[in-house]
Amino acid sequence: MNTRSPLDCPAWNKLEAHAATWRSAHLAEIQAGDPARARQLVAEAPGVRLDYSRQLAGALTLRLLAQLAAERGFEEWRAALFAGEKINTTEDRAAGHIAVRADEVSFSRLKDIAEKTRAQGRYKRVINLGTGGSDLGPRLLADAFGDGALDVRFVANVDALELERAVAGADADATLVVVTSKTFTTLETTHNARALKARGFRNFVAATANPEAARAFGAGEILAFPESVGGRYSVWSAAGFAGLLAVGGSAFSEFVAGGREIDEHFRTAPLEGNVPALLALLGVWNVNFLGLRAHAVLPYAHRLRQLPAYLQQLEMESNGKGVDRDGRAVAYATAPVLFGAEGTNAQHAFMQLLHQGPPAAAADFIDASAGETLSANLRAQADALAYGTRAGGDSLPPHRRHPGSRPSSILAFRRFEARDLGRLIALYEHKVFTQGVLWNINSFDQWGVELGKQLARQILSRSD
C-alpha cells in the first residue's frame, strides 16, 4: 500500500503551479465566458446531484487531482476498505462500517427488537446515554425522521442539567435507557448511567462492543457491534438503536439502504463521476492549493439542523491529524475547520463573514427539497458567494460590495426521505476516506481525544 508523502507526487507540484492561475481568477468572469460550466461540472449519485460549477476549478484541475489520486494509490486503498483489510493501522483493525451496513442478519435482529419494543407499548420514553458518535448519529436520525411513537431523548454531557432535562416528568418504569458506548468505559456515559440507576431506573439496554462490562453493569439486553466500527461511523450499527426506536424499522431500513447505494456508487463509479470522490478532490484543492482552511456545511432543511455537528466529528476527528501513516509530521494542511447551521438561520448569523470577511471559506449547500423558498435562498447565497457584485459593483459604496469568487458546491436531492439521509451520510464518509488517502493519514483512529480523558481521570482521582 502506498504510504509515501503526497508532496513526493508529481501531480502535487503540478497542482501548486496550476493553482496560481486560479487565485487571480474570478468566478463571475469565468461563468460569463463559459456558460456551459453549469451543465458540465455536475455529477450524479443515487438520488442526489452534485453541482460544482461554482468551484474555483476547471477541467484541467480535475485531471490533475485525478492524477494525484492515482499516484496516491486511491483504487488500491478503496479496494482494501471494501475488502475489510486492516487499514486502521494504529489500532490494527479494519474500518467496519461498510460491512455493518451489509450485515443483513445483525440488522434484522436489531430491527426485530426495536419493532417489538415499539409495539409493546410498555415504554413511553427512551433516553439514550452516549457521547460523540454514540450520540450524534442517533440524535441526527431521530431529529430528522422521528415519528413520535416514542419520546426519545439524548444525554451526551456529564453536566447534570442535561440529564435532568431528559428525565423531567419521566416514569422510571415506563422509561427505557439505552447506554451506547463501544468500550462501556466512557466517563460521561457510565457516570450518567450510574446516576439513573441510583434514581430508580431499571430498564437498561446496552449497545456496545464490550458485552462483559455491560453485563456487569446490569443491562437487561445487550446489542453488540464490532470493535472495528468507529464511533463516528457507527449509526448504522447497534449504536444507532435509539435512532431506530425513534424512526421505526421501515424508515431505518430505508436509511441503511441509502448508505448501501452510495457504497456501490463509490466502489464502481469512475472518478470523474464519483460524487464522494469529487467532494474529496475539491476539498483537497481548496485546502492545500487555494489556502481555504475553513469549510461551511449549510443544509437548507430544518430536519438537517443536527448535520453540521455530526459532520464536525466525522471530518475533524477523522482527518484532523498531524502525522502521516508512517509517523512523519505532515508538512501540509489536513482537515479544515468545519462549521455550519441550517439555512436560512445561517444567513442571519455567520454568512456575513463568508460573503465579505477576509478569511474566505469554501461551502457545501445541501438542498433537501424542503420548499421553494428555502431552495431559492440557497441558490441566491451560492450565487452571491460566487459572483458577488462584480457587474456594476464599482458604483456601490465599499461596504455594499461583495468580492465574490468564493467557492461552493450544491448537493441537491430530488426529495429528502430516510433513504436520502443514509445517502448523504455515506457520501461524507467516503469523502473523508478519500481525503485520508490523498493526505496519507489514518482516518479511522482518534488518539487526539485520549489525552484529555486520561488527565480528567487523574484530576478526579486526586479530588476523591
Q: Which residues are catalytic?
A: 317, 348, 453
Alpha-carbon dihedral of residues 39, 40, 41, 47, nearest 10 degrees?
60
CB-hemisphere CA count at 13 Å for 3? Answer: 12
Q: Name the helix (H) or strand (E) containing 353.
A: helix 351-356
In the numeric block, the cell 492515482 is attached to: 70
Number of CB atoms found within 10 A of residue 459's CB: 9
User: Would you say 301 and 291 are in contact if contact means Cβ atoms under 8 Å apart?
Assistant: no
Query: DSSP string covering 327-348, please?
Result: SPBPSS--SPEEEE--TTGGGG
Query: DSSP string covering 384-420, please?
Result: HHHHTTTTTGGGS-GGG-------EEEEEESS--HHH
Euclidean distance between CA atoms 300 and 340, whole angstroms: 11
Sheet holding 408-413, edge to edge: 42-45, 48-51, 408-413, 362-367, 294-300, 337-340
- What lies within 8 Å, CB to CB, of 52 at 6+ separation is 41, 42, 43, 278, 282, 409
Euclidean distance between CA atoms 73 and 96, whole angstroms: 21
Burial of 111 (0-12, 13-18, 19+ CB in 10 A): middle
CA distances from 11 to 70, 82, 276, 284, 438 (A): 9, 26, 20, 13, 11
User: Would you say 182 and 130 are in contact if contact means Cβ atoms under 8 Å apart?
Assistant: no
Alpha helix (H) residue ranges in 146-290: 160-167, 187-198, 211-217, 241-247, 249-268, 275-284
User: Would you say 320 and 335 are in contact if contact means Cβ atoms under 8 Å apart?
Assistant: yes
Cell (9 digits) for 24: 487571480
Euclidean distance between CA atoms 369 and 300, whole angstroms: 8
Among residues 327, 299, 241, 268, the alpha carbon closest in space to that of 428 is found at 299
CA distances from 310 to 316, 344, 420, 442 (A): 10, 19, 16, 19
Q: Name the helix (H) or strand (E) containing 223.
A: strand 221-224
In the numeric block, the cell 494525484 is attached to: 68
